Amino acid sequence: MPASRRRSVRPPPPDALKTAFRLLGQRAHAEGELRRKLLARGCPRDEVERSVARLRELGYLDDAAFARELVARRERTRGSRMIAAELAARGVTREVAEAAVAAVDHDAAVAAARALASRSPAVDRRRLAERLTRRGFAEDVVREALDVAPDVD
């Protein structure tokens, strides 16, 4: 058959709700993150919006619960700033992210920073502070964690 007579047959777009359930079966998602993934897979925008609304209605999507769970998993190894950035990257609104991150206890953040500092190879305080800051810990948390940490300079 000549090339001009060949027809390219496009498969129909994937079903947004079925695709969303499959994605949610792998792990929890924020609404914005799920919406982006569905659109990237070729699901029609209107079907994506209906599916997201239905999943929210059924309780499968709850950005506040998603944010709280992510914070609980990450707070032992990352500071509030890094966690908030991860939530934003996953499509969680600033208000929801701030509320979830605000629940992190200051003393728990200091303890997490101390634990990370104690596992770091012996380096000076400035480098430890830079490492902790890159992990998203606030300056006051880093200062407090390193004030009690054994002297490594």
Cα separation, 151 vs 86, in Å, equals: 32
Level-2 CATH architecture, domain 14-61: Orthogonal Bundle (1.10)
Do the Cβ atoms of 63 and 92 come closer than 8 Å? yes
Would you give the DSSP letter of residue 7? -
Tens of pLDDT, residue by residue over 80-127, are: 999 999 999 999 999 999 999 999 999 999 999 999 999 987 678 999
Instruction: Give the pLDDT score at 9.
Output: 86
Would you give the DSSP letter of residue 122? S
Instruction: Give the pLDDT score at 120.
Output: 82
Tens of pLDDT, residue by residue over 10-63, are: 889 999 999 999 999 999 999 999 999 999 999 999 999 999 999 999 999 999
Average confidence (pLDDT) over 58-87: 97
Listing DSSP states for 1-65 in one string gives: --GGG--PPPPPPPPHHHHHHHHHHHS---HHHHHHHHHHTT--HHHHHHHHHHHHHHTS--HHH
Would you give the DSSP letter of residue 27? S
Prediction pTM value: 0.82
Do the Cβ atoms of 137 and 145 come closer than 8 Å? yes
Decide if pLDDT at 1 tops 70: no
